[in-house]
Amino acid sequence: MATTCVKRAFKYRFYPTEAQAAELSRTFGCVRKVYNMALAARTEAWARQERVNYNATSAMLTAWKKTEELAFLNDVSSVPLQQCLRHLQTAFTHFFGKRAKYPRFKSRKKSRKSAEYTTSGFRFRDGRLTLAKTTGPLDIVWSRPLPEGAKPSTVTVSQDSAGRWFVSMLCEDATVRPLSATDAAVGVDVGLDHLLTLSTGEKVANPRHERRDRTRLAKSQRELARKAKGEGANRRKARERVAKIHARIADRRRDGLHKLTTRLVRENQTIVIEDLTVRNMVKNRSLARAISDAAWAEFRSLLEYKAAWYGREVIAVDRFFPSSKLCSVCGTLADKMPLHVRTWTCECGTIHDRDVNAARNLLAAGRAVSACGAGVRPQRRTPGGQSATKQEVSRREP
């Protein structure tokens, strides 16, 4: 049986020349302009109870280029402009499928600066990448090699708020194959005192990346607040200093989560987690900063796609399952379990560590799903607007 190759994005940093930076910045602006104009046109049509699809917006783009006011759209490659219209079509598809909110307009200051090129918009030969209507090949830092014989099908160029330039290449990676099956299974309970607590009793420390740089970040933010509002050079430099600290925090956090999720996927066939609504939990003003720094949602996202790559299974237990209050030995359900209670003694005499006990209960619930499918319902969570394929243990009443 033929194996299907996994499509994988390889992201690299690059250093553009002044001419390339100007050309790419112009492309970002044109992409944002076309996206906003197409969104406005579709919104007006929707108010008239008319449907405008991708083909219609593509025809609009052709007409816009012929006008004197928008003739500058011809100065950049047409590929990223067409791609942004496809992205808008996808956004509306998710909206009508009730998987996302109504698409929003792109802001010049806040929106991500990016442009996507398909095969007709770039040339990749001998490790040198050249984009359409861009002067010369990009100076890419090859921090890791592409898979042998891989050819990018899509190239996305972006610039983050810290001013760093990145290029992401989507390639088929034949080296990603299912791992050998194993009987190992683990329950994972996320927390703040410890980032993860495993059913084996192991506790993974919470690195608290944001707290480590909090003093430096606060100082930079105060300096930014003192700058006169506007487009002055001093305010721009102060804003970049704040952005660089945020980027440093995010990079460390992402690196740690990648290492942690890769280890869990390699060591276990089945991984059971809790279906937490992080979006609602961060509304708690006392815990929002700590929860955001722990990045529980990103942890789950990384875990799920890596499990799909390597033939592992991730089971999400319903958030109402009383994992903390249920004794993992005798099954007794405690009446109350405030957050400040970290250890408790059951009627059977067992002394429980709250987090370890919760992880063991999650594992038991996940094993029930794997064994007989008891209490299974379709997963409700659809990250990124895509339908999820994982399973979830239904709510269990005591």
Q: Residue 314 belongs to what H/E stretch? A: strand 313-317
Enter the pTM of the model. 0.83
Which mean pLDDT values do the consecutive 10-residue runs of the chain (398 residues) have?
74 96 96 97 91 93 95 95 97 94 92 95 93 94 90 95 95 89 91 91 92 93 91 90 95 95 94 89 88 92 93 89 84 81 81 87 83 47 38 38
Compute the Cα dihedral for 30, 31, 36, 38 and give only its sign: positive
If you write DSSP's letter for every residue of 170-229 in order, what string do you get?
Answer: EEEETT--PPPP---EEEEEE-SSEEEEETTS-EEE---HHHHTHHHHHHHHHHHHHSPS
If you write DSSP's letter for every residue of 84-144 in order, what string do you get?
Answer: HHHHHHHHHHHHHTTSS----PPPTTTS-EEEEEEGGGEEEETTEEEETTSSS---EE-SS
pLDDT score recorded for residue 382: 39
CA angle 146, 149, 152 (to 5 degrees): 60
pLDDT score recorded for residue 350: 80
Identify the CA nearest to 208 among candidates 155, 267, 253, 149. 253
| Both structure tokens of 226 | 């003192």
pLDDT score recorded for residue 4: 67
Catalytic sites, residue numbers: 189, 274, 355
- 377: which strand partners? 392
